[in-house]
Chain A
């Protein structure tokens, strides 16, 4: 008889068999990295806003305090997006006829709110509360990044559960004195870990409860 297969078939067969075992593993690894990547987490993504509001200008250059506009941040879960009224407290005085601010004035006149696009976002089943984080010495820029440098707001962190856990497991790495929470230029002391540990005791932070599911999900 003649040979059924050409000599090359041997190598092909080996390759196929190896692929059978290696393929799935590779796929899983790829998926994992993909889902950690900004491609899936929307990290660093900016979104089209009705008004190109610049934190760089308001925070970085003018040095406005976060709480001036995000009024709920110390009281409520929702930090709060400023009402048109708040924008106009200043912009009825300055830049009163800037083209850029036309939508704001329109909204103020009509009483119809501005429709902003959410940038930093966690899923509905995550009950995140700004007020408690602020009250326990977690600075704004820990999660929101160097806002004072952002001409357009972008999502600074992946905001995945794994990312949340990192801090909930080791708060001492990130916690800071309450007074510095809104300080965009605060830098960690060299002995952050000791200081952090002290602050955790001082603020009565119950570290064991921090990684309970019920802390964020209900």
Chain B
């Protein structure tokens, strides 16, 4: 690129040298500034994590009767939380993979922490199906393992598919993330002061020397993984959507579900990335790497996604009306007029209406509004998930089975607890590992600064 077009086009601002990049990126790990913020946040999220652990103990002690579920609305918060968290977990891998394949320069500043987010969010997601089981200690029966009963999983069940999809996704993301980390771990190995820290980072750096062979293998492997990641991500939330779509229930048995779920996943995921990016920018002074332009780009993505969500909702209404199926129609009227109506309007507002503000460049390029709208989007997406679970089961085929779901304290405790645990893990991550991929940013900086 030309030096002339320099400043405006840049993704890294106000950096004078490679050393500066390294120093900034290692700072939170090796010599952090204003740590009190971090400790405060850690304490807060830690207490929420304790709340989660407590509720889980209570749950296993008393049984899932402590949730608000009932005879007909057999699924409640845990399933909604599962879908929501997993959705958030989709952005990371997709950012690093899709943007890598499409050679997007702004990927560099986001992929590392986005992948971490993916990992933590997916782990949270993975927990909820276990919490929701009547007999969680028999979870392993879903896996094919040699046993004295001579029994196997029932492979036609979407839940078994979930297990494989989520399991694969978490393993895959972890590998992808770790391999990307290795060169930076090598850097930390050399920069860390204490001998033990160096040995620790050194061990995980596996002796990376940055030799030409290393880079050759690394680049290829990284690209192939990216190529695998995209179909994987798409498959995972499609399979999750089959928990609902592969059923007979009104409002669930919809062919639109898989794409609609995948987009929804990216949507919430990118929204969460915005929040975390802002937090890092503020907390770790990563201003040079996470610029207004980054937020602008994500905002555009969110805008596009919000429009697709709007279309998906409209499609559901249209088919309910056009298909003329009694229960489908009744379900839509129920959504608009029933006891859940406020939530449904909230969903539409947050997921479709509010994000339209991104049409205005002024909104897109200012970090505060982007972050606020992103939080709205996350709330809206959670509402969508819970309504998908509730509304259908509340208005099933037989009126005699119509019930209403009333969440209990434990429903809320587990949800907020999981948020805390997620935050907790993320905080640990920024203090232990480089939250920005130093080697990629160095490359980018050199590209941007070579005449």
* A185 proximal to B (CB < 8 A): no
A162 engages B202 (CB within 8 Å): no
A10 to B207, CA, bound (A): 9
Take A4-B189, A4-B199, A5-B199 as given contacts and tell me if A162 and B149 are in contact as well, using a CB distance cutoff of 8 Å.
yes
Contact indicator A13/B203 (Cβ below 8 Å): yes
Nearest CB of B to A162, in Å:
4
Whether the Cβ atoms of A161 and B149 lie closer than 8 Å is yes
Would you give the 0/1 interface string for A1-38, flagging 1 where the beta carbon is closer than 8 Å to chain B?
00011000010010000000000000011001001100
CB interface residues, A 153-204, toward B, < 8 Å: 158, 160-162, 165
Which residues between 61 and 104 of chain A lie within 8 Å of chain B, taking CB atoms?
none
Chain B neighbourhood of A36, CB < 8 A: 148
Q: Are A161 and B148 in contact (CB under 8 A)?
A: yes
Question: Are A5 and B202 interface neighbours, CB within 8 A?
Answer: yes
Q: How far is the CA of A133 from the CA of B373 in the complex (A)?
A: 70
The interface residues of chain A lying within 8 Å CB-to-CB of B199 are: 4-5
- Can you name the residue of chain B whose Cβ is closest to the Cβ of A163? B148
Quick check: A161 and B150 within 8 Å, CB to CB?
yes
Residues A165 and B148 in contact in the complex (CB < 8 Å), given A4-B199, A5-B202:
no
**0/1 per residue, B146-163, Cβ < 8 Å to A?**
111111000000000000
**A28 CA to B146 CA, complexed, in Å:** 8
Q: With A4-B198, A4-B199, A5-B199 in contact, do A162 and B206 touch (Cβ < 8 Å)?
A: no
- Give complex CA distance A5, B207 in Å: 9
Closest chain-B Cβ to A9's Cβ sits at a distance in Å of 8
Task: Name B150's contact: one of A4, A13, A29, A165 (CB within 8 Å).
Answer: A165
Is B345 an interface residue, CB under 8 A from the partner?
no
**Cα(A4)–Cα(B206), bound, Å:** 12
The minimal Cβ–Cβ distance linking A29 to chain B, given in whole angstroms, is 8
- Given A4, A5, A29, A160, which contacts B149 in the complex, CB threshold below 8 Å? A160
Cβ contacts under 8 Å, B151 to chain A: 161
Contact with B along A26-64 (1 / 0, CB 8 A): 001100100110000100000000000000000000000
Shortest CB-to-CB span from B206 to chain A, Å, is 7
Please give the distance in Å from B175's CB to the nearest CB on chain A.
12
CA gap between A28 and B144 in the complex, in Å: 11
Q: Does B145 contact A (CB under 8 A)?
A: yes
Q: How far is the CB of A169 from chain B (nearest CB, A)?
A: 9
Q: How far is the CB of A28 from chain B (nearest CB, A)?
A: 6
Within the complex, what minimum Cβ distance (angstroms) separates A23 from chain B? 15
Contacts of B146 in A (CB 8 A): 28-29, 32
Chain B proximity of A213: nearest CB distance (Å): 10
Q: Contact at B202–A32, with CB atoms within 8 Å?
A: no
Bitwise interface map of B from 401 to 416 toward A, beta carbon under 8 Å scored 1, else 0: 0000000000000000
- Residues of B with C-beta under 8 A to A162: 147-150
Which residue on chain A has the smallest CB distance to residue B147? A32
Q: Once bound together, how far apart are the Cα atoms of A84 and B148, in whole Å?
A: 37
Contact A13 B206 (CB under 8 A): yes
Within residues 175 to 218 of chain B, which ones have a CB less than 8 A from any CB in chain A? Answer: 189, 198-199, 202-203, 206-207
Q: Do A160 and B202 have beta carbons less than 8 Å apart?
A: no
In the A-B complex, the 5 residue pairs with the smallest Cβ-Cβ separation, listed nearest first, are A161-B149, A162-B150, A160-B148, A32-B146, A4-B202
Known: A161-B150, A162-B149. 8 other contacts (CB 8 A): A5-B199, A13-B203, A28-B145, A32-B146, A32-B148, A36-B148, A158-B148, A165-B150
- CB-defined A-B contacts under 8 Å, sample of 22: A4-B189, A4-B198, A4-B199, A4-B202, A5-B199, A5-B207, A13-B203, A13-B206, A29-B146, A32-B145, A35-B147, A35-B148, A41-B148, A158-B148, A160-B148, A161-B149, A161-B150, A161-B151, A162-B147, A162-B148, A162-B149, A165-B150
